[in-house]
């Protein structure tokens, strides 16, 4: 009973929490809750900033990779806008927005990189300005599209000129060079930015190996993977097997050879002048022998009758007539064999080897190897990256597009007029194997000598 009495005798104020207790507890709870909310907001903001930074970095990587890849394919870089036609694309480029340009080959317009202001107040753009490219169109495999209009396309947005976050060229300044140092800065959402400085190099000169000039055409020759087609006489028309790559061997004079759309090996073959010369020498020897025999016979038959003399005279006349006929026949034959062949590669990466006559060698489409083998040859590689090997004679090369290289089996100092050569016109004179020769070319990018390489200017 005493326990209950004591419990009931307690004051009401001694039961539960006081108002002070509640206020203190509430204050402590509010502080803890504020700290937790602050931590959550901070983590959320950090995550958002990190995500924005990663997006900026991905955009930066894509843009830088594209720029560096095209720089690596170029012949040189220029930061001088006066070297470039800024009106080559549909929308003219403001000189103040020009950053740099890349020159690839003489057949392609340069690729121009420049900035352009974004549409004010638009939510479709990040930042104040964007990086653009104006230049040759590129296909899905990374090759320039030949004969198509130039493209003017966005590379990336996210630049703020007011905060010095853009594409800045450190070197070269208003000059041409084979390398470029630039800083690319991109903004993300908010004020996040990603910036990095890079040095990129234009086409690095590789070790160039001249194509082999050895013939693979022999009687009944079989090459794995190729269907053999052999000529048997002069002035034939030989065509590749349409369903497969072919080895086509001309007879050496006046043939017309047509390749396939595959990687063919086409050889003109050499004419038979040497064999004809040997045959003529043998004929002359036989003629001298016959003449001696006839002289002896005439000496022994001084006492023969007039009728026999007349008979011998008639025989000699017939012999002379046959000799003249054979002479005319040999002359016609040699004239036919002196005519050159016409080689047409067609599609595919073809190997075309001329003969020792005056040949016409056409590579047509794709990347071809065209080899002069003596004679006054006309050579045209067509579109693609072609290689030429020049020899003795008067050789004329006309190329249409691509990176085109000429190989010559001499040292650089052994040719004349090299300093006057450009991509659009180049004429060299030289002496090869004791024969005064010359080479004229248009659309050539480089000449490879035994001791050095010479790149032609525009």
| DSSP characters over 6-67 | HHHHS-GGGSS--HHHHHHHHHHHHHHHHHHHHHHHHHHHHHHHHHHHHHHHHHHHHHHHHH
CA atoms of 202 and 77, how far apart (whole Å)? 7
Residue 112, domain member (yes or no): yes
Of 201, 219, 250, the last residue of a domain is 201
Residue 248, domain member (yes or no): yes
Residue 284, domain member (yes or no): no
Residue 83, domain member (yes or no): yes
In a shared domain, residues 138 and 258: no
Residue 317, domain member (yes or no): no
**Residues in the chain, overall count:** 458
CA atoms of 187 and 413, how far apart (whole Å)? 55
DSSP 113-175: EEEEEPPTT-TT--BSEEEEEEE--B-TTSPBPTTS--EEEEEEEEEBGGGTBSEEEEE-SSS
In a shared domain, residues 84 and 123: yes
Boundaries of domain holding 190:
44-201
Paired sense of beta strands 435-442 and 394-398, if any: parallel
Tens-digit pLDDT profile for the chain (458 aa)? 555 555 555 555 555 678 887 888 888 888 988 888 888 887 777 777 777 778 888 889 999 999 999 999 888 899 999 888 999 988 999 999 999 999 876 557 899 999 999 998 888 888 899 999 999 998 888 888 877 889 999 999 989 888 889 999 999 988 888 899 999 999 876 677 889 999 999 876 666 788 989 888 888 777 777 888 888 887 889 998 777 889 999 887 789 999 999 999 999 988 655 444 444 444 444 444 444 444 444 434 443 434 343 434 444 444 444 444 444 444 443 444 457 899 999 988 999 999 988 999 999 988 899 999 888 999 999 988 899 999 999 999 999 877 889 999 999 999 999 999 999 999 999 999 999 999 999 999 899 999 888 988 87
Upper half-sphere CA count for residue 288 (Cβ side, 13 Å): 5
In a shared domain, residues 186 and 254: no
Nearest to 288 by CA among 296, 353, 169: 296
**296 class by beta-carbon count within 10 Å (0-12 exposed, 13-18 middle, 19+ buried):** exposed
Cβ neighbours of 437 (radius 10 Å): 22
> How far apart, in Å, are the Cα atoms of 155 and each of 66, 70, 152, 249?
9, 13, 10, 50
Distance of CA 95 to the CA centre of its chain: 31
Residue 36, domain member (yes or no): no
Nearest to 95 by CA among 87, 106, 104, 107: 87
Number of domains in the chain: 2
Residue pair 257/355 in contact by the 8 Å Cβ criterion: no
User: What is the model's pLDDT at position 144?
Assistant: 84
User: What is the model's pLDDT at position 68?
Assistant: 94
What is the pTM (predicted TM-score) of this model?
0.51
In a shared domain, residues 262 and 126: no
DSSP three-state, residue 96: helix
CA atoms of 277 and 24, how far apart (whole Å)? 124
Which residues are CB-neighbours of 421 under 8 A, at least 6 positions away?
Answer: 427, 428, 447, 454, 456
Of 201, 218, 253, the last residue of a domain is 201
In a shared domain, residues 359 and 243: yes
Which residues are CB-neighbours of 43 under 8 A, at least 6 positions away?
Answer: none
Count helices and strands in the chain by DSSP H and E runs: 4, 27
In a shared domain, residues 184 and 240: no
Residue 381, domain member (yes or no): yes
In a shared domain, residues 425 and 366: yes
In a shared domain, residues 192 and 233: no
In a shared domain, residues 148 and 241: no
CA atoms of 229 and 249, how far apart (whole Å)? 6
SS3 of 378-417: the string is: EEECCCCCCEEECCCCEEEEECCCCCCEEECCCCHHHEEC
- For the chain, the distance separating the N- and C-terminal CA atoms, rounded to the nearest angstrom, is 119
In a shared domain, residues 130 and 251: no
In a shared domain, residues 115 and 238: no
Residue pair 365/386 in contact by the 8 Å Cβ criterion: no
Residue 400, domain member (yes or no): yes
Nearest to 428 by CA among 388, 385, 395, 380: 395
User: What is the model's pLDDT at position 156?
Assistant: 93
User: What is the model's pLDDT at position 78?
Assistant: 92
User: What is the model's pLDDT at position 188?
Assistant: 77
Of 183, 201, 219, the last residue of a domain is 201
Tokens of 418: 């090299």
In a shared domain, residues 247 and 343: yes
Give the angle 320-323-327 at the CA atoms, nearest 5°: 140
């Amino acid at each position: 009973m005493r326990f209950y009495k004591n419990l009931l005798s307690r004051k009401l104020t001694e039961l539960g929490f006081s108002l002070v207790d509640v206020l203190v507890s509430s204050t402590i709870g509010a502080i803890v809750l504020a700290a937790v909310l602050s931590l959550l907001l901070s983590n959320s903001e950090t995550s958002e900033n990190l995500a924005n930074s990663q997006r900026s970095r991905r955009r930066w990587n894509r843009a830088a990779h594209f720029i560096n890849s095209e720089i690596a394919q170029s012949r040189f870089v220029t930061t001088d806008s006066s070297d470039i036609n800024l009106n080559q694309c549909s929308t003219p480029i403001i000189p103040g927005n020009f950053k740099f340009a890349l020159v690839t080959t003489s057949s392609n317009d340069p690729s121009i990189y420049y900035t352009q202001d974004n549409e004010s107040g638009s939510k479709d753009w990040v930042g104040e300005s964007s990086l653009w490219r104006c230049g040759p169109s590129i296909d899905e495999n990374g090759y320039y599209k030949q004969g198509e209009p130039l493209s003017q396309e966005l590379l990336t947005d996210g630049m703020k000129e007011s905060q010095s976050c853009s594409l800045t060229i450190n070197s070269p300044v208003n000059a041409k060079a084979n390398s470029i140092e630039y800083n690319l800065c991109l903004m993300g959402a908010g004020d996040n930015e990603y910036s990095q400085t890079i040095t990129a190099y234009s086409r690095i000169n590789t070790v160039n190996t001249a194509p082999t000039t050895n013939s693979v055409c022999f009687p009944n020759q079989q090459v794995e993977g190729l269907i053999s087609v052999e000529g048997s006489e002069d002035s034939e028309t030989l065509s590749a097997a349409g369903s497969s790559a072919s080895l086509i061997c001309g007879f050496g004079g006046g043939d017309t050879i047509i390749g396939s759309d595959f990687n063919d090996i086409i050889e003109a073959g050499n004419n038979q002048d040497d064999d004809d010369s040997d045959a003529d020498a043998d004929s002359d020897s036989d003629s001298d022998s016959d003449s001696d025999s006839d002289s002896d016979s005439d000496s022994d038959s001084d006492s023969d009758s007039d009728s026999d003399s007349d008979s011998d005279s008639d025989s000699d006349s017939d012999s002379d007539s046959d000799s003249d006929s054979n002479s005319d026949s040999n002359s016609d034959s040699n004239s036919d064999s002196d005519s050159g062949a016409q080689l047409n590669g067609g599609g595919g990466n073809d190997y075309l080897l001329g003969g020792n006559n005056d040949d016409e060698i056409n590579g047509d489409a794709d990347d071809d190897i065209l080899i002069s083998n003596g004679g006054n040859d006309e050579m045209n590689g067509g579109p693609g990256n072609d290689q030429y090997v020049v020899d003795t004679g008067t050789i004329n090369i006309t190329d249409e597009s691509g990176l085109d290289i000429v190989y010559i089996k001499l040292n650089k100092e052994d040719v004349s007029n090299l300093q006057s050569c450009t991509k659009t016109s180049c004429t060299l004179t030289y002496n090869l194997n004791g024969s005064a020769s010359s080479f004229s070319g248009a659309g050539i990018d480089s000449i490879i000598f035994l001791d050095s390489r010479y790149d032609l200017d525009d």
